[in-house]
């Protein structure tokens, strides 16, 4: 009889311990879910949850194809840069960030405000600059602008250079021609990279 009572007590202790462990796990899980509820729930309206999955579905429906194509293009550029041993340093990126800051400041704004308005972070901007610099280095030999091309542009378009600022005007024209070449060469490069890459799409937008 005593053995049966001892067994019953031991069983009760084990059962209570299991219950306590399960309750503890549930409490911890609830705390974690509450702490990181933003991973699942984007918002609530009168207590009704709006899931992040629903938000993502809407975003994909509106701009999924564009976003995916952008990521594919960035990946192709990064892979090509790596294959050619091309690197972009932090100093390269810092210099470009400073240029952006100066350009925006000249228009009476700030880089921080511009990023907020665009929904970007500084990290996003630096990554964007890195990819752009990689692209420029890949096609560097195709975007050079000669003095002859600058003069030809001035002649063809009958440009009157402002007296005393001829050099600055020529530099602006050179940069304009460079950007035109960059756009054309970048478009051709991406087209070529996509043609030779093995890209499998598992979703259709």
**Local structure of 42: helix, strand or coil:** strand
Classify residue 17: in a domain, yes or no: no
pTM for the complete prediction? Answer: 0.70
Tell me which residues of the chain have a pLDDT lower than 70: 1-39
Are 150 and 202 contained in the same domain?
A: yes
Are 177 and 134 contained in the same domain?
A: no
Classify residue 68: in a domain, yes or no: no
pLDDT score for 161 = 84
pLDDT in tens, 43-78: 888 888 888 888 888 888 888 899 899 999 999 999
**Local structure of 44: helix, strand or coil:** strand
Are 198 and 148 contained in the same domain?
A: yes
Are 154 and 204 contained in the same domain?
A: yes
pLDDT score for 185 = 94
Are 180 and 123 contained in the same domain?
A: no
Burial classification of residue 199, based on how many CB atoms lie within 10 Å of its CB (0-12 exposed, 13-18 middle, 19 or more buried) = exposed
Domain membership of residue 169 as a residue range: 142-205
Looking at 138, 155, 178, the residue that finishes a domain is 138
Number of structural domains the chain divides into: 2
Classify residue 24: in a domain, yes or no: no
pLDDT score for 17 = 53
| Residues 12 and 22 sit within 8 Å (Cβ to Cβ) | no
Classify residue 19: in a domain, yes or no: no
């Amino acid at each position: 009889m005593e053995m049966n009572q001892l067994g019953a007590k031991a069983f009760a202790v084990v059962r209570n311990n299991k219950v306590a462990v399960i309750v503890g796990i549930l409490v911890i899980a609830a705390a974690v879910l509450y702490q990181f509820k933003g991973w699942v729930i984007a918002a609530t309206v009168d207590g009704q949850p709006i899931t992040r999955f629903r938000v993502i579905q809407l975003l994909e429906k509106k701009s999924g194809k564009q976003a995916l194509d952008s990521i594919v293009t960035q990946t192709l550029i990064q892979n090509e840069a790596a294959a050619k041993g091309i690197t972009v340093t932090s100093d390269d990126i810092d210099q470009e960030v400073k240029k952006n800051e100066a350009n925006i400041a000249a228009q009476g704004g700030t880089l921080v405000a511009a990023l907020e308005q665009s929904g970007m972070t500084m990290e996003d901007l630096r990554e964007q600059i890195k990819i752009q610099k990689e692209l420029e280095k890949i096609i560097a030999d195709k975007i050079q602008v000669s003095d002859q091309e600058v003069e030809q542009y001035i002649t063809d378009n009958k440009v009157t250079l402002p007296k005393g600022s001829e050099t600055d005007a020529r530099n602006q024209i050179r940069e304009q021609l460079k950007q035109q070449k960059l756009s054309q060469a970048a478009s051709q490069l991406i087209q070529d990279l996509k043609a030779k890459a093995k890209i499998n799409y598992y979703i259709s937008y």
